[in-house]
Amino acid sequence: MCGIAGVVGQGNVVDTLVRSIRTLEYRGYDSCGIAVLQNGALAVKKGVGTVEEVSQAERFSDLDAATGIAHTRWATHGAVSAENAHPFTSCDGRIAVVHNGIIANWTELRARLEAHGHKFRSQTDTEVVPHLIEEQLKLGAADFETAFWQSLNLIDGAYSFAVVTSLEPGRVFVAKHKNPIIIGLGESANYIGSDFNAFIDKTKRAVVFDDDEYGVITKDDFWVKSRLTREVVCKDVTTVQWDAEMAKKGGYPHYMLKEIHEQPHAIRMALGVDARGMAQVVEMLRAAKRIYLVGTGTTYYVALVGQYLFKDHARRFVSAVAADEFTLLAEVDAETVVLAVSQSGETYDTMQAIRCAKAAGAKTAAVVNVMGSSLAREVNVALLQMSGPEISVISTKAALAQMVALYRIAADLARADGTARGDAADVAAAFAALPDLVQQVLNEKSGFLNTLAKHTCGWKDWLFLGRGVYYPIALECALKMKEVAYRHAEGMPAGFLKHGTLSLIDDDICSLIFVPPKRDEALHKMVLANIEQIRAREGHVVGFVYDADESLASLLDERVLLPDVHPSIAPFLELLCGQMFAYFTAVALKRPIDRPRSLAKSVTVP
Q: Which residues are catalytic?
A: 2, 601
- The minimum distance between CB 91 and ligand F6R, in angstroms, equals 37
Closest approach of Cβ 299 to ligand F6R, in Å?
Answer: 4
CB of 259 to ligand F6R, least distance (A): 11
User: Considering beta carbons, is residue 38 or 343 the nearer one to ligand F6R?
Assistant: 343
Does an H or E element contain 310, and which?
A: helix 298-314
461-466 sheet: strands from edge to edge: 488-493, 461-466, 509-514, 540-546, 558-562
> How far apart are CB 57 and ligand F6R at their closest, in Å?
29
Q: Please, which residue, 315 or 488, has the CB nearer to ligand F6R?
A: 488
Alpha-carbon distance values, 526 to 533, 544, 548, 567, 569 (Å): 11, 15, 18, 15, 19
Q: Least separation, in Å, of the C-beta of 393 and ligand F6R?
A: 6
Residue 310 phi, psi dihedral angles, 5° rounding: -65, -35
Select 361 or 606, whichever has its Cβ closest to ligand F6R.
606
Neighbours of 289 (CB within 10 A): 9
Whether a cis peptide bond, with omega within 30° of 0, leads into 571 is no
Residue 264 preceded by cis peptide, ω within 30: no
In degrees to the nearest 10, what's the CA dihedral of 63, 65, 67, 71?
Answer: 10
Q: Are 77 and 109 in contact (CB under 8 A)?
A: no
Residue 232 is given by DSSP the state B
- The contact set with ligand F6R (CB under 6 A) reads 296-299, 342-344, 347, 350, 394-395, 479, 483, 602-603
> In angstroms, what is the minimal distance from the CB of 88 to ligand F6R?
27
- Tell me which DSSP letter residue 434 carries: H
> From the CB of 395, what's the least distance to ligand F6R, in Å?
3
- Residues sharing a CB contact under 8 Å with residue 439, sequence separation 6 or more, in sequence order: 264
Our measurement of the distance from residue 274's CA atom to the centroid of its chain's CA atoms, rounded to an integer in Å, reads 22
Q: Please, which residue, 207 or 479, has the CB nearer to ligand F6R? A: 479
Specify the residue, 297 or 543, whose C-beta has the smaller distance to ligand F6R.
297
**Which residue in the shown chain puts its C-beta closest to ligand F6R?**
297
* CB nearer to ligand F6R: pick between 511 and 602: 602
Write the DSSP assignment of 261-282 as a string of letters: HTHHHHHHHHHT--HHHHHHHH
Compare residues 408 and 601 and give the one whose CB is closer to ligand F6R. 601
Which residue's CB is nearer to ligand F6R, number 152 or number 603? 603
Neighbours of 597 (CB within 10 A): 10
Alpha carbons 98 and 108: distance in angstroms, whole number: 20
Q: What's the min distance (Å) between Cβ of 400 and ligand F6R?
A: 12
Contact between 602 and 393 under an 8 Å Cβ cutoff? The reply is no
CA–CA distance, 419 with 217 (Å, rounded to integer): 54
Strands in 171-233 per DSSP E: 172-177, 182-185, 190-193, 205-208, 213-217, 222-226
Rounded to the nearest angstrom, the gap between the alpha carbon of residue 207 and the centroid of all alpha carbons in its chain is 21
